[in-house]
A and B are shown apart, each in its own frame.
Chain A
């Protein structure tokens, strides 16, 4: 960051065109068809693994096609986000030339609507369901309140598209474990339910927290951690599905929409960060 600033002021001092640090800088390649093609190609190699092939969001990065930018939506903001990353998130700094960065921004602009898409549904009603009849909070933490069996959803709105969230609510087993990471890095099992049967016939069901060649660790619905050596178990049953129940039958369409609207509003971070 500091280096970039020095480089920028140096470039200005030398009479070069100003780089992206000034807030009013616009993408010099905006709308350029060649830049959009180059940007698409750059995006595939540098960004798609997290943000998805068509920027619709992946297992690690948010959907970038909705015109909703959590860390500022001006050209200069996007340039800054891409080049320096977002501390405290999985978004890394990227070693790209200015031209490559502007190409990516030109590509992203070609995908996004001119006005941000509004998610239908009532987030307030959704939150009531989340904390009430839906019982979502028994397993999911939001801003420090809730359970520990499922993923923390405090910023799920910035990571997942409304379509993904709706699908996940209806059928949690679609896209189970669509992970792109090396095993052992992060959420390799995405809340897979596992039942172990001990040699004396005891059955323990929970969410997989680790499994390796010789041992297995899981958390039961009471949030207790269990660890077993596989040689001491009669059986390990991978249920091949999430421990989360499908909500398609529990909630009606309107209620689902409200919960999605609530989840979409969860963007974590501080007010300062959101500016």
Chain B
């Protein structure tokens, strides 16, 4: 089991692909918008109120279970598994094909060497023909104004082709640089009524456990209504079970709460674990969880400061 502080966790390489740094801003914005207790210092009541309304509209409560939910088993790739030795043997044959011939070099037939020379002559002749043809075409083109008009048409065609190519490149760029991949951000808030909080451990489906040791400052932040990000990374767009364990004095060992999530494809899903209702005697399953999606309709250019000036023009 790996152990990281939260700051270390954000920069450490994990088996899963990392989320680009720019999306961290989106996480911060979305958490601030949907979770009113995100700030280390509680915001004034008047300013938090609209956000509370927004959060209650979009966040969905998620059940935290005591036992890992059973999932139906589906067999897959059975032909491959049944015939693996045969298929592997076929690949081995492709990689290595020994024969009875020795590896020593034989004398090269002089005729073969002359073929190379002939090939060079052919290429040279072709180049000469191309140059001659080019000159002839140029003479023809400039012989009349009509020919110049045709040349202009050809240039227009080339420009159109270039414009179309630029358009295609634009589509590809949008696909590869601006596309949101399926991602998950897990945040924790609140502080348990009893029991000391020392570590939080998250285990993603098929992933290694990620253990986070909480510092005194982080514990104090949670007590004051702060929120901590435990995980932010790419996840598979499928139904999966996450486990979250609480470590510390009074908490039962080998205990975890299980949450079933189905992250939406190409969206950022948030999972908030609220520790406020959790009790050491009842284990990690006594915490509360809710989930919501990042609001992609938000237009950053519309964000304005209190004096009405755009924050990001």
Pair from one complex: no
